[in-house]
Amino acid sequence: MAGPYTNCILWVNLSNGEIRKENLSEEILRKFIGGRGVGSYYLSKLMDPKAEPFSAENPLIFATGPLTGTPAPTGGRYMVICKSPLTGLIACSNSGGTFGAELKAAGYDMIIFEGVAEKPVYLSIKDDEVELKSAEHLWGLDTHETTDRLQEEFGDTKAKVSCIGPAGENLVRFACIMNDKHRAAGRSGVGAVMGYKKLKAIVVRGTKRVEPAEAEIFKNFLREKLDIIRTNPVTGEALPKLGTKVLDNIINESGLYPTRNFQTGVFEGTDEVCGEALVEKGYLKKNKGCYACPIKCGRVTELPNKNKGEGPEYETGWAFGADCGVKDLIAITEANFLCNTLGLDPISCGATIACAMELFEKGHIPKEDLAAGPKPVFGSSEAIVYYTHALAYRKGLGDKLAEGSKRLAEHYGAPELSMSVKGQELPAYDPRGVQGHGLAYATSNRGGCHVRAYLIAPEVLGSPEKLDPQATEGKAQWVKIFQDLTAVIDSMGLCLFTSFALGAEDYRDLLAAATGFDYTLEEMMQCGERIWNLERVFNLKAGLDPKEDTLPKRLLEEPMPEGPNKGKVHRLPEMLPEYYEIRGWTKEGIPTEEKLKELGLA
């Protein structure tokens, strides 16, 4: 097969140690593109959606896209797909860095792990040489220690490592998978599934080149799209300068910066913890990019105590900052470093601690449950660092926090205090101030998520055009388009941040030139719609009740108490029926037989 696909799936059976290779079908690639799309197709094909996430029946799929490993801007992404132990729904987590490109250079579009190892193992890949090796000596090490040890054992510091830390080993339901030490397949607990399988890591070195099908056409498009990205005010200036933390003051001033577990949308301490503060306090040392990235939004930081790492980014800074009522940038950064070394999703981690703080504030958590730990009270710098560590090792109250905020709040009899959708914690935008973005939260296939349809772009940032954030008319159509296009971008192997500058036609140009598949714009967008519906069908078969397409009661019924959105609630009932209709689903939110036939999914 010509073009950027390696045309090879690596199958690894952890139960019996069997390793085999299989070709990819061109028909499947045309319909699902790669990455998220092809990975989700194989999950649907291989797994009974009703099977438990912590079971041998749950495959763990590492999938690259056709543009992964090419010079396409941000062409280094890979996805991890499985059934989520946090939500019980489809999990598809996206990571950058250099690991995905290295996997592609070794000759593999995907790795599919089946079964469960008897003892800890890691997978070693050097081009065509693939071997499962004992990881018993690595079990218990953090992600940085694991990476250093494996590169040393491999005998090549250029080898790339994707691994779990103690959180994944201890089956924390929002454990992530870390690669290149600081990049994460971060949400939905994919690291816990890896830990259940006793798969500690993958180390890979590849020497092959990834070539587009239409090399000259691709090169011309590449120059054109790079110019667009470099001259765009967001991707060419704001993100390189301050990273995602450029958003702190913007979102706070817009009155939708969730504070103290979404009790309000304005944080009085933003100036002390924002992206500008990271620079002014001297903690930011330089910016850093992933593979083939012209944006370079990563933050390399060092604290006064000489502790070094990367981040915090916007979401992490918010989750441990405003959401927990903490104004201490050092403590926030320390908690962020712990998430990277222990292997935790910082959004769910910080948000779960915030939920515990409100539970304690309202008297739901008895003092005897705290053991030796500090009181989980809003504003406590000590608490965010202590409980991040405790939950990774399931110590004391950390054992309950490791289950996520939904299970935590239910355990203490106050389920309404979990700010989550479908069991996954919401990120850093209060939907009472952004109606379209709230609809995207409610209908996301992987629960509370901002990167399945980032309506903040038009509703707040004015990209590609400025929308009234409080309007509901037309928002269902916007959400559908963003959801479908995001599925395409994820499947291509590119970073979503490129969408601040590029439009659907730009992606079509790159995808068609790279693959040699002459997609029309409509055909490409239908691929995204097909992927979205495939995920929806998987979730329904897994037991999703469409009534879960909703938001926490607080956001629907409690008016915002202050700021620009004072008195506002989220008006989901005005938009959800229209969304279902536009999707071609029933009034109950189920894809119709006609829609599935149209998409080739029947």
Q: Do 446 and 452 meet the contact criterion of CB atoms below 8 Å apart?
A: yes
Please say if the pLDDT value at position 257 is more than 70: yes
φ and ψ of 119, to 5 deg: -130, 160
Query: First-to-last CA distance in the chain?
Result: 27
Tell me, what's the pLDDT at 230? 97
Tell me: the pLDDT tens digits for 453-480?
999 999 999 999 999 999 999 999 999 9
Q: What share of the chain is helix, strand, coil (3-state, %, to 5)?
A: 45, 15, 40
- What is the model's pTM? 0.98
Please say if the pLDDT value at position 51 is more than 80: yes
CA 537 to chain CA mean position, Å: 21
**Identical fold, 9-205 and 244-423:** no
Q: Does domain 434-500+520-598 have CATH number 1.10.599.10?
A: yes
DSSP H helix total and E strand total for the chain: 25, 17
**CA dist 177 → 446, 469, 497 (Å):** 17, 34, 21
- Element housing 597 (H / E): helix 593-598
CA distance 199 to 127: 20
In 3D space, the residue among 546, 530, 556, 551 whose CA is nearest the CA of residue 588 turns out to be: 546
Angle at which helix 475-492 crosses helix 35-46, to 10 degrees, equals 90
In the block, residue with structure tokens 């926490």: 552
CA 79 to chain CA mean position, Å: 9
Tell me, what's the pLDDT at 602? 86
| String of DSSP letters for 530-542 | HHHHHHHHHHHHH
Q: Do 532 and 483 meet the contact criterion of CB atoms below 8 Å apart?
A: yes
CA distance 529 to 562: 38
Give percent above pLDDT 70 in the chain: 100
Q: Output the CA angle 451-289-381, nearest 5 degrees.
A: 65
In 3D space, the residue among 191, 203, 183 whose CA is nearest the CA of residue 122 turns out to be: 203
CA 432 to chain CA mean position, Å: 23
Tell me, what's the pLDDT at 372? 84
Please say if the pLDDT value at position 1 is more than 60: no
The domain limits of the chain are 9-205, 244-423, 434-500+520-598
Instruction: Write the CB contacts of 3 (distance below 8 Å, at least 6 apart in sequence).
Output: 66, 211, 212, 213, 514, 515, 516
| String of DSSP letters for 464-499 | SS---TT--TTHHHHHHHHHHHHHHHHHHT--GGGG
- Mean pLDDT over 336-360 rounds to 98
Q: Do 15 and 45 meet the contact criterion of CB atoms below 8 Å apart?
A: no
- Mean pLDDT over 415-442 rounds to 98
- Mean pLDDT over 589-595 rounds to 98
| String of DSSP letters for 397-463 | THHHHTT-HHHHHHHTT-GGG--EETTEE--S--GGG-HHHHHHHHH-TTSS-SSSS-THIIIII-S
In 3D space, the residue among 82, 79, 98 whose CA is nearest the CA of residue 90 turns out to be: 82
Please say if the pLDDT value at position 594 is more than 80: yes
In 3D space, the residue among 231, 211, 206 whose CA is nearest the CA of residue 71 turns out to be: 211
CA distance 195 to 402: 14
Instruction: Write the CB contacts of 591 (distance below 8 Å, at least 6 apart in sequence).
Output: 533, 536, 537, 583, 584, 585, 601
Instruction: Write the CB contacts of 547 (distance below 8 Å, at least 6 apart in sequence).
Output: none
Q: Do 14 and 199 meet the contact criterion of CB atoms below 8 Å apart?
A: yes
DSSP 237: I
Tell me, what's the pLDDT at 3? 82
DSSP 24: P
| String of DSSP letters for 162-205 | EE--HHHHTT-TTB-EEETTTEEE-STTHHHHHHHTTEEEEEEE
Predicted confidence band at 47 (pLDDT cuts at 50, 70, 90)? very high
Tell me: the pLDDT tens digits for 247-256?
999 999 999 9
Query: Mean pLDDT in the chain?
Result: 97
CA distance 97 to 288: 10
Furthest C-alpha separation in the chain: 68
For 23-154, list the strands marked E by DSSP.
60-64, 78-83, 90-95, 110-114, 121-126, 129-134
Tell me, what's the pLDDT at 371? 80
Please say if the pLDDT value at position 171 is more than 70: yes
Predicted confidence band at 143 (pLDDT cuts at 50, 70, 90)? very high
CA distance 246 to 238: 7
Q: What is the fold of 9-205?
A: Aldehyde Ferredoxin Oxidoreductase;  A, domain 1 (3.60.9)
Q: What is the fold of 244-423?
A: 1.10.569
Tell me, what's the pLDDT at 238? 93
φ and ψ of 123, to 5 deg: -105, 125
**R_g over Cα of the chain:** 22
In the block, residue with structure tokens 């009181």: 375
Encoded tokens for 326: 């903490």
In the block, residue with structure tokens 């800074």: 317
Tell me: the pLDDT tens digits for 60-117?
999 999 999 999 999 999 999 999 999 999 999 999 999 999 999 999 999 999 999 9
Residues in the chain: 602
CA distance 81 to 58: 10
